[in-house]
Amino acid sequence: MAIEGFDDLDFNTFHREELPRRIAAGHGAKAAAAVARVGRIGSLALRIPTGGAYTYVPENGTLRIAAGEDEADTVIELEHAAWEGLVHDYESPPGLLYGDRVSCRRGKAIRLVNWEPALRALYTGRPLFDPETARLDDRHGEPLDVKHAFRPGDDREDMAHFLRTAGYLLVREVFAPEEIEGFLAEAAELRAEARRGDQLSWWAKDARGAEALCRVTRAGAKPQLGTIPTDPRMLGLVALSDHPLVARRGGDETVSVIWKLPEMKEGLADLPWHRDCGMGGHSVMCPVLIASLFLTPSTPETGELKYLPGSWSGTTPYMDANAPGAPRGARFAAAPGDVSLHYGDVMHAAPPPGAQNLPLYRISAVTGYARAEARNHLGTKSYNSTLHGREDGQIEHLEDVAKRV
C-alpha cells in the first residue's frame, strides 16, 4: 500500500541499490555509532512476507547489508507498508509494537526499539544526539543556562532563542490562582467521570494492586479546560516558535489531564525518556509543540518533567528515566500557573514521584500545537487509541508489549 506523499519503495531494489548508496554517503557510520551507543544489541534482520529478508550487521565502523537472515541475532517480520514507513520516518518501532504490526521470529522484539536510532540514521541520515558533547549557546555566544526559567514579560528574542536551542521553555506565572482553581475543579469532575476501559482514560496499579487513574484525554470537553489551547497567553508563547503552529485538532481530546501518583507498579503512569512522535508520524506531524500547564507543584517529590537539552537535533536511544547511566536532564521546580513548552522531538521523561504519602502530587493539563497541514499518520484523532489494548484501561509498558510480541 502506497504512503501518501512518499515514493513507493521496492524492498529488494532498495537494499541492493539505494541503501548501499546511503551507507557510502555517511549514513552507515552514523548508524554504527548509534548501535555502539546502545551496546550489545547484535545484528537485525527485517523480513517482509512477500520479499525475503535483509540483515543489518554493524562492522568496522559502518553497517554491512547481508541478504537473508542467517547472520541475524534478531529477526523482525513486518508488512511491506510498515517497513516502508520506517524508511520514510513515518512509522516507528514503538508504534508498530503497540499496534501489533510486527512479529519477532528470532531474538527479542525490544531489540527493534533499541535499533531505532540506528535505523533512523541509516534511512534518513538523522545523527545520534550526544548530550556529553553537545554545545548549546545563548544569544551572546555564552554557554546556555539550560535550567533558566522565564516570565511572560521577559525579552521575547531571548525566549525564542532558548526554545530554538534547548527545545523546551518554562514560563512562570502565566495563569492566575483563581483560574487554576477552576481548572482543578473540572479536573476533579473528569476524575469522577472516568471509567476503566472507556478508551479515554489511563489507569495504573500500585504495589498493593489498588487501581488508580493517572490520565484523562477528554479534558477539552470541559468549559474552562477546553479554552486552554486557544488562550491568547498560550498562543503568545507558541508564537515564539520558528514555525507557524496552530492548536491541534481533535475535539474533546485536545486537552489531557495528568495525575502523578507514587509507587505505581503496573500501567504507564511514569514515562521513560521518549519523544512525542515516538508512536510514529514524525515526517508528517513534526514539528509539534507540547504545552503543560501545571495545576499543582511539580518537583522531584511530586513527580517532575525532565528534558534533555538540545536533543531535538538528533536521535537518542530509548531508556528508562531512572536506569543506571541514564542522563539526568534539565529539571525545574514548577508552581501552579507555570507553563512549559517542548518540541515533540525533544527527549523528555516523567519519572515517578520521589516521596510517598504526600497529600497532593503533580496535576497538569497538557495540549499541543502543530503545522496546519500536519496529520496523524494513522488517520485517527490521536494516538491514544493505539495505546489502548486492555479492558482495564491500563497502558502497558513498552517492554511488556515487546515481551508479548
pLDDT confidence bin for 377, thresholds 50/70/90: confident
Q: Where are the domains of the chain?
A: 11-124, 156-404
Report how far residue 209's alpha carbon sits from residue 131's, in angstroms, rounded to the nearest whole number.
Answer: 38
| Amino acid code (one letter) for 280 | G
Q: Is 348 helix (H, G, I), strand (E, B) or coil?
A: strand
Above 90 in pLDDT, residue 401? no
Q: Is 309:136 a contact under the CB 8 Å cutoff?
A: yes
Percent share of the chain, pLDDT over 90: 74
Range of weakest confidence among 50-59, 321-330, 394-403: 321-330
- In this structure, what C-alpha cell is assigned to residue 118? 540506528
The residues, any chain, with a CB within 8 Å of residue 253's CB and separated by 6 or more, are: 200, 217, 218, 220, 381, 382, 384
How much is the pLDDT for 2?
Answer: 62
Running DSSP on this structure, what letter comes out for residue 253? Answer: G
What b/e sequence results for 247-272 when a residue is b if at least 16 CB atoms lie within 10 Å of its CB, and e otherwise?
A: bbebeebbbbbbbbbbbbebbbbbbb
Mean pLDDT of 224-247: 97
Mean pLDDT of 250-277: 91
Alpha-carbon separation of residue 308 from 47, 330, 345, 347 (angstroms) = 34, 6, 10, 5
Q: Is 360:302 a contact under the CB 8 Å cutoff?
A: yes
Consecutive H or E run containing 62: strand 62-67
Choice between 10 and 375, residue whose per-residue pLDDT is larger: 10
Mean pLDDT of 304-315: 93
pLDDT confidence bin for 263, thresholds 50/70/90: very high
Q: Please, is 117 exposed, middle or buried when counting C-beta atoms within 10 Å of its C-beta (0-12, 13-18, 19+)?
A: buried
The residues, any chain, with a CB within 8 Å of residue 244's CB and separated by 6 or more, are: 371, 372
Cα-Cα-Cα-Cα dihedral sign, residues 33, 34, 37, 41: negative
How much is the pLDDT for 183?
Answer: 98
Nearest 5°: the CA angle 149, 166, 258 is 65
Whole-structure pTM value: 0.91
How much is the pLDDT for 3?
Answer: 73
How much is the pLDDT for 385?
Answer: 64
Choice between 4 and 333, residue whose per-residue pLDDT is larger: 333
Alpha-carbon separation of residue 289 from 88, 120, 224, 377 (angstroms) = 22, 21, 21, 17
Alpha-carbon separation of residue 10 from 83, 93, 123 (angstroms) = 10, 20, 14
For 33-68, the pLDDT digits (tens) are 999 988 889 999 999 998 899 999 999 999 999 999
Report how far residue 268's alpha carbon sits from residue 205's, in angstroms, rounded to the nearest whole number.
Answer: 10
Choice between 99 and 379, residue whose per-residue pLDDT is larger: 99
Mean pLDDT of 306-316: 92
pLDDT confidence bin for 383, thresholds 50/70/90: low
Cα-Cα-Cα-Cα dihedral sign, residues 156, 135, 343, 273: negative
Above 90 in pLDDT, residue 387? no
What b/e sequence results for 149-181 when a residue is b if at least 16 CB atoms lie within 10 Å of its CB, and e otherwise?
A: bbeeeeeeeebbbbbebbbbbbbbebbeeebbe
pLDDT confidence bin for 379, thresholds 50/70/90: low
How much is the pLDDT for 386?
Answer: 67
Closest CA to 166 of 2, 304, 348: 348
**Was domain 156-404 assigned CATH 2.60.120.620?**
yes
pLDDT confidence bin for 374, thresholds 50/70/90: confident
Topology at the third CATH level for domain 11-124: Nonspecific Lipid-transfer Protein; Chain A (3.30.1050)
How much is the pLDDT for 17?
Answer: 97
Q: Please, is 314 exposed, middle or buried when counting C-beta atoms within 10 Å of its C-beta (0-12, 13-18, 19+)?
A: buried
Q: What one-character-per-residue DSSP string does 170-213 give?
A: EE-S-S-HHHHHHHHHHHHHHHHH--TTSSSEEEEEETT--EEE
Dihedral of the alpha carbons of 260, 265, 267, 273, in degrees to the nearest 10: 70
Above 90 in pLDDT, residue 158? yes
Q: Please, is 32 exposed, middle or buried when counting C-beta atoms within 10 Å of its C-beta (0-12, 13-18, 19+)?
A: buried
Radius of gyration of the chain (CA): 21
**What value does the mean pLDDT of the chain take?**
92
Q: Is 287:100 a contact under the CB 8 Å cutoff?
A: no
For 177-220, the pLDDT digits (tens) are 999 999 999 999 999 999 998 889 999 999 889 999 999 999 99
How much is the pLDDT for 30?
Answer: 96
The residues, any chain, with a CB within 8 Å of residue 52's CB and separated by 6 or more, are: 11, 12, 67, 68
Mean pLDDT of 281-287: 90
Mean pLDDT of 163-178: 98
What are the percentages of helix, strand and coil residues in the chain, rounded to 5? 30, 25, 45
For 86-110, the pLDDT digits (tens) are 999 999 999 999 999 999 999 999 9
Strand order in the sheet with 44-48: 62-67, 52-59, 44-48, 74-78, 102-106
pLDDT confidence bin for 332, thresholds 50/70/90: very high
Percent share of the chain, pLDDT over 70: 96
Strands (E), 282-402: 288-294, 306-307, 330-331, 339-343, 348-350, 363-370
How much is the pLDDT for 381?
Answer: 59
